Amino acid sequence: MSLSLLCDEHIPYPVIKGLRRRGIDVVSVQEIGLSSEEDKVIMDKAKEDGRLIYTQDADFLRLHQLGHPHIGIIYHHPLAYSIGEAIRKVILICEKFSSEQLKGNIKFL
């Protein structure tokens, strides 16, 4: 699994912890000092670091629609999945797709 993720502040910590236990390279915006930062800044930092954004925030989908460049977005509707299901689905994306396949695209959980 070669994908690296930047989780926005809406992703629950148990999901982040579960992804790490399963070998996913993941950091949160809180860990890199971007809590409460504008979404454009987070998107730019993810792109600079070669990370996909993993989010539950639909504002990132709007930025995508406006053409803001990004490495890729994994979107998880906040009410759609339990913690365990979210972890499994993100791992499946990380196993199935390359960063090149996801570049500039959105994957919905």
Give the chain's domains with CATH numbers.
4-108 (3.40.50)
What is the model's pTM?
A: 0.93
Structure tokens belonging to residue 59: 């504002």
What pLDDT sits at residue 2?
Answer: 76
In angstroms, the CA 5 to CA 16 distance is 10
If pLDDT is split at 50, 70 and 90, which confidence band does 108 have? very high
What pLDDT sits at residue 101?
Answer: 94
Residues 85-100 have pLDDT tens digits of 999 999 999 999 998 9
In angstroms, the CA 14 to CA 60 distance is 22
Angle at 29 between CA 82 and CA 32, to 5 degrees: 140
